[in-house]
Amino acid sequence: MSRPLRIGAVGVAARAATAAVWARSRPRGLLSAQRRRIPMRALTRTLVSLTTAVGIAAGTLGVAGTAAAAPAAQPAASAAAAVAPRAVNNLGLTSAEAKKVQRDIKAHWGYKGKIDGLLGTESWKGIQRPLKKYNGYKGKIDGIVGKQTVKALQRLLKARYGYTGAIDGIAGAGTKAAFKRLANQL
């Protein structure tokens, strides 16, 4: 009798799942003269679960193998960029609309970054400054588009750009549409 193939925790999970199916399929009681068949639904569910577990394990191993095989000779600047990805949140604006916002905050609110159409951390710091001064933003000028930033933005949009939704800090479709109106009026 050969041993089952084991793949770490997947082998244990596979044995446990198979045992559970076989345990349910055994005859119950002393008077059972005929062995019951394994319910097809339970068997299918077990096989799908096992296939998924093996696929996840194989995918993880495949990615790990690819990462290990990648060339190590990279400049330090690109390695730092890979570790700290740039946080860009245009809230539904096109690149052209985001550039209009960046030009405005550069002219009036101390934005010193590029006019690139990507509302990153520095752009949002420039947006947070007027929100703090005029629209009740109480957080730090940190460039993070969190709930407080969105609430303050929604107050501005409600007062001047036709936003009719709740001041809830969730940048939904209404917030994004009003933000587009703001950008297009700049």
* pLDDT tens, residue by residue, 147-164: 999 999 999 999 999 999
Q: Contact 105/121 with Cβ under 8 angstroms?
A: no
Cα 150 to chain center, whole Å?
18
Instruction: For residue 87, name the pLDDT band (cuts at 50, 70, 90).
Output: confident
pLDDT of 137 > 80? The answer is yes
Question: Tell me: the pLDDT tens digits for 21-64?
Answer: 545 555 554 444 444 555 566 656 666 676 666 666 656 544 54
* Per-residue pLDDT, 50: 61
* Per-residue pLDDT, 84: 43
Q: Contact 143/120 with Cβ under 8 angstroms?
A: yes
Q: Contact 138/128 with Cβ under 8 angstroms?
A: no
Please return the burial class of 33, using the count of CB atoms within 10 Å of its CB with bins 0-12, 13-18 and 19+. exposed
